Amino acid sequence: MLVVLMGPPGAGKGTQAERITKEFNLLHISTGDILRNAVKEETALGLQAKQYMDRGALVPDEIVVGMIRERLARPDCAAGVLLDGFPRTVEQAEALGQVLESLQLKIDVVINVDVEAEELLSRLTGRRVCRNCGATYHIKFNPPRVRNICDHCSGELYQRSDDTVETVKERLDVYSKQTLPLIEYYQRKNLYYAVDGARSIDDVFADIAAYLQGKQ
């Protein structure tokens, strides 16, 4: 199964992806995570990407498409994949179509987690992420058992550098202008499924899981 998970910044893509990939045995591929890792490792890609990410802009299509092309060609993708945060422009979606065709794969469903802007702002500014295992928390909505310590691995929690009020506003703006057109793009291909993301993490997951059960 190949699932595309889309939605505005802070909608809960990463949170839901953790659960969906476990439940349905899919490989979680997040372009945001791959890019953040490259920034951390200070690779050439990371140094280039950082300039865009820090101001809330999208990294150029050719860089992200190249990354995804290379990732999807690896054998561990055969069992099934969940794409989180890719594609994000119509150009990326077109390129993904070509990459998948060359690998004789196709998208089964595009799930869009929808949440309104005001809620997204408080979700993102309150987010904390484990430095060690990447698990995601929220200081109010999904707090760790011990403040600033990961429940799973006791790692230290940190705040993403693009989770400031100013950068979040820019990311939301970029989303409306560059990513929203994708909804219509996938609706026309009959692949689109919208989920109301303004509910509890459990309720959103139950909705997505029930839908995916029917697709298997």
171 is catalytic: yes
Is 10 among the residues that bind Mg ion (CB under 5 A)? no
Q: Applying CB under 5 A, which part among 8-16, 40-48, 94-102, 157-165 lies near Mg ion?
A: 8-16
Distance CA 129, CA 152 (A): 12
Q: How far apart are CA 95 and CA 40, in angstroms?
A: 27
d(CA 188, CA 6): 16
Position 43 contacts ligand AP5 (CB under 6 A): no
71 binds ligand AP5 (CB under 6 A): no
Q: How many helices (H) and strands (E) does the chain have?
A: 9, 8
Main-chain dihedrals φ then ψ at residue 191, nearest 5 degrees: -115, 0
Q: Which does 71 bind (CB under 5 to 8 A by kind): Mg ion, Zn ion, ligand AP5, none?
A: none
Question: Would you call 88 a catalytic residue per the annotation?
Answer: yes
The vertex-169 CA angle with 163 and 174, nearest 5°, equals: 105
Pick the binder of ligand AP5 from 3, 13, 96, 144 (CB under 6 A). 13
In the complex with ligand AP5, the residue whose CB is nearer, 44 or 216, is 44
Does the annotation mark 160 as catalytic?
A: yes
The structure tokens 């929203």 sit at 180
**Residues 36, 50, 123, 127: which is the catalytic one?**
127
Q: Catalytic site residue 55?
A: no
56: helix, strand or coil: coil
13 in active site: yes
Do residues 151 and 134 touch, judged by C-beta distance below 8 A? no
**Catalytic residue annotation:** 13, 88, 127, 160, 171
Binding site for ligand AP5 (CB under 6 A): 7, 9-15, 31-32, 35, 52-53, 56-59, 64, 85-86, 88, 92, 123-124, 126-127, 136-138, 141-142, 162, 171, 200-201, 204
